[in-house]
Structure 1
Amino acid sequence: MTNERRVIVHPDRTSLSAAVAARFVSKAVELIAEFGEASIVLTGGTMGAAVLEAINSSPVRDSVDWSRVNIWWGDERWLPAGDPDRNETQARAALLDHVALDPARVHAFAASDSGLDLDAASDAYAKEIIAHSPANASMPHFDITFLGMGPDGHIASLFPERGGIRERDRAVISVRTSPKPPPERLSMTLVAINSSARVWLVVAGADKASALGLTLAGASVNEVPA
C-alpha cells in the first residue's frame, strides 16, 4: 500500500454513506474488469453497516459481478452464529444476503458456538488467509479494506496501548480484554490491514474528530491505532 492519504468530507452521515457506496461500486467494477475478481475486507459498526445498506440500495448495485467478489472481515465479536451483534450478521442483513455472492468466496470468522475456542478460531482464520494468498506471499491481495474508528482511535479490534496493536508477526489475533463489549474478539492485525491496496476509513461524528486529527498529525500508532 502507498502512503498517499486523502480526506474527503461530507455534510452528514447519509451523504457520506451514499458517496462511499458509489465510490465502492465504481471501483469494484474496475477491479473485476482488470483482475477478474475483487477482494474486500469489511468492518462493523454504525457506519460500516450504513455503507453496506447504501450499496444495497444503489440503483447500480448489480453492475458489480458479485460472484467474483471475495469477502473478508477485519474483526469479529466472539458471539454465537447469527447473533445480531456479530459483524457478519449485520453485513449479511445489510448487503450480503441480497447479492449473488459465491459462498466459497465469503470468509467469515468462526463463531463462539462453532466448537473452536478463541485461539483455535484465530489460528483457523490465519490459515485461511494463508491458503488464499499468492505463492510466496503471507497475505491475499486485499483490494479495499473498510475500517471504522472509535473515539479512542481504535480500528478493527486493535485498541490503544494494548498488545494487539504492536503485533508484527501474526495476521490474526485473539482479543480477551476489549474495553468495548464483548471482551472477547478476533481481529486482523496491522500487518494484515496494511497489506491492502486501499484502506478506506469511514468516520462520522464529532466524538471522532480528536482521534482523526491525531491520526492525520502522525500520532504514535500505539496511542492512536488509526
Structure 2
Amino acid sequence: MSTLVEVFDDADALATAVAGELLARIVAAQRSGHVPHIGLTGGSVADRIHHALGEHGPVSDVDWSRVDFWWGDERFVPADSPDRNAGQARRAFLDHVGVDPERVHEVPPTDHAATVDDAASAYARELREHGSGAFEVLMLGIGPDGHVASLFPGHPALEVTDAVTVAVHDSPKPPPARVSLTFEALNRSRAVWLVVSGEEKAEAVARALAPEGDVRETPARGVTGLPASDDSPAAEVVFFLDRAAASHL
C-alpha cells in the first residue's frame, strides 16, 4: 500500500481538486475499456465535491452513461430524508449529468425495506450481482472519532467477516440504524480517497496516519484497498485534507 497526503488551503479548494481528480480517473478508466465503479460518501465536504462535479461534469469527457455509483454507507431512513447520502448526491450532480439510472445502486430506504437487516441483505445482493469486483475509486470521510463509512470505534460491526455489508444497529451517531460496507468490501478498491475537512477531525486523521494503532479504536486505519498482485500494483491510498484537518500531522 502506498499512502499519499495532499493538503489544500480550505474545503472549497479541496473539493475542487478532488472533483477534478475523479473526473480524470473516470475518463482514464473508460478510455482503457472499463466501466468504472465509484464509491461515494456523504457529509459536508462530499456535498462540495458533488456540486463541483455537477458544475464541471457536463463539460468533461466522462461518458456518464457508463459509470456505476455505489455508497460506502447509508442511513436507514425514508427515501426523501435529507439524511440520505444518496439524496445529497442526486440533488448535487447525479440527476444533472446524464447518469444511467440503472447504474445508481442505492441502499434501500425504509420505504422499500422492512428492516435495516433486510436493507443490508438487499444491498449485498446488488453488489454481488452488479458490482465489478473492485471500486475504481472509493471515497470516504473520517469522523472525529476515527470512524469510516458506518464502522464506529468499538462497534460490533467492525468484527463482521465473510460479508460485504452489515446492518448497523445503535449507531453512536444518529440516525441509529445504518447499512455499511464491511472492511472486506471497502478494501476491494483500486484507489481509496479519504477526504477530510475541519480541525475537529485533525486528531483522528493523525491517528489514522500514525505508524501504529488499533483499527478498533480508529477504524479508518482498516481501509487499505487491494493488495498488490501479479496483475496490478497495490491500491493507492490518498488522504485529501484541508489545512485544518492536517493541523495535527
Query: Which TM-score band (shorter chain)?
Result: over 0.9
Native 8 Å contact 1:25 1:60 kept in 2: no
- In structure 2, relative to structure 1, the CA distance for the partners of 1:132 and 1:8 (3 Å cut) is same
**Partner of residue 4, structure 2:** 6
Question: How many residue pairs were aligned?
Answer: 219
| Amino acid in the other structure paired with 1:195 | R
Q: Secondary structure at the match of 1:63?
A: coil
After TM superposition, give the deviation of residue 116 of structure 1 in Å: 2.8
TM-score, normalised via structure 2 length:
0.85
* Structure 1 residues not aligned, in runs of 5+: 135-139
Q: Secondary structure at the match of 2:5?
A: coil
**Partner of residue 32, structure 1:** 30
Q: Secondary structure at the match of 2:105?
A: coil
**Partner of residue 98, structure 2:** 100
**Partner of residue 203, structure 1:** 196
Residue 129 (1) aligns with residue 143 (2): no
**Partner of residue 234, structure 2:** none
Cα distance per residue 1:70-117 (max 9 Å; x no partner): 000111111111211101110101110111111111100000121432
- In structure 2, relative to structure 1, the CA distance for the partners of 1:85 and 1:198 (3 Å cut) is same
> Which whole-Å CA distance do the structure 1 matches of 2:139 and 2:76 have between them?
20
| Amino acid in the other structure paired with 1:79 | V
> Which whole-Å CA distance do the structure 1 matches of 2:19 and 2:127 have between them?
26
After TM superposition, give the deviation of residue 39 of structure 1 in Å: 0.5
Of residues 133, 142, 150, the one that matches 1:149 is 142
Native 8 Å contact 2:77 2:109 kept in 1: yes
Residue 221 (1) aligns with residue 215 (2): yes
Larger CA deviation: 111-120 vs 175-184: 111-120
> Which whole-Å CA distance do the structure 2 matches of 1:153 and 1:16 have between them?
20
Q: Relative CO higher for 1 or 2, CA cutoff 8 Å, sep ≥ 6?
A: 2
- In structure 2, relative to structure 1, the CA distance for the partners of 1:133 and 1:115 (3 Å cut) is closer
| Amino acid in the other structure paired with 2:206 | G
**Partner of residue 80, structure 2:** 82
Of residues 103, 110, 113, the one that matches 1:112 is 110
After TM superposition, give the deviation of residue 62 of structure 1 in Å: 3.4
* Structure 2 residues not aligned, in runs of 5+: 221-249
After TM superposition, give the deviation of residue 132 of structure 1 in Å: 2.2
> Which whole-Å CA distance do the structure 2 matches of 1:214 and 1:36 have between them?
35
**Partner of residue 184, structure 2:** 191
TM-score, normalised via structure 1 length:
0.93
Native 8 Å contact 2:79 2:109 kept in 1: yes
